[in-house]
Amino acid sequence: MQLLNPYLDLFQALPGSFRRDPLLPPSATELLMPDWLALKATITRHFAWAVPTDEAIAAIRKHTTGVVEAGAGSGYWTWLMRQAGLSVAAFDLDPPPFTWTEVHCGDERMVRDHPDKALLLCWPPWGSGMAANALDAFGGEQVIYIGEWMGGSADPHFFTQLVSGFDCIDVVEIPQWYMRDDRLMVFRRHT
């Protein structure tokens, strides 16, 4: 499956010092930090916090045929999942003026209307109860979390809920921005 994915193309064209590259010394990016932060903010606002790949979308498709995404932002991940034939309901509390596909205005409670789909959370806001609230409202069997494990996004309550109620059944590495350690993880509710 070859998806149209301009974000990945752009990310791969950036200098290695902007990406998480273990072969480069940290100082290579630190010298450019103000420019790097401004560029990253612009790119992530337009696309998404996490850089998707065909492999990541294929992993989602392997585990489910439908997704409900809370905090969808520009809808970039939703756009790619729809390219792959998945049924996706995407919601954001305040969708930006430009979205890649249809993103409905709504908060994390909207997931309760989609128990037949997998819940997808991509870099839920750090320190916010949004991810934990979505998990509370969600009645389905699978959760797809994209972000850093127990850091950088969501809150401790979310991770406690996830660990106590779900088993991790798949982990997919994705391209990483400098100073980030995110990945896609698929969880299934305990039976």
Let me know how long the chain is: 191
Q: What three-state secondary structure class fits 15?
A: coil
- Alpha-carbon dihedral angle through residues 70, 6, 52, 132, given to the nearest 10 degrees: -20
**What's the pLDDT at 185?**
99
**What's the pLDDT at 157?**
97
Question: What ranges do the domains of the chain cover?
Answer: 54-189
Query: Please, are residues 30 and 158 in contact by the beta-carbon 8 Å criterion?
Result: no
**What's the pLDDT at 20?**
67
> Residue 81: which of 185, 8, 3 has the closest Cα?
3
**What's the pLDDT at 87?**
99
Q: How many CB atoms lie within 10 A of CB 20?
A: 15
Instruction: Divide the 191 residues of the chain into consecutive groups of 10 and give the mean pLDDT of each group.
Output: 94 79 56 75 96 98 99 99 99 97 97 98 97 98 98 95 98 92 97 83
Q: Kindly state the DSSP code that residue 49 receives in the 8-state scheme.
A: S
Domain 54-189 classification at class level: alpha beta
Q: What three-state secondary structure class fits 150?
A: coil
DSSP-assigned beta bridge partners for residue 69:
90, 120
**What's the pLDDT at 33?**
67
**What's the pLDDT at 178?**
80
**What's the pLDDT at 27?**
54
pTM of the model: 0.93
**What's the pLDDT at 25?**
56
Tokens of 61: 């498709």
**What's the pLDDT at 17?**
67
Tokens of 117: 């789909």
DSSP-assigned beta bridge partners for residue 147:
183
> Residue 144: which of 58, 54, 60 has the closest Cα?
60
Query: Please, are residues 54 and 1 in contact by the beta-carbon 8 Å criterion?
Result: yes
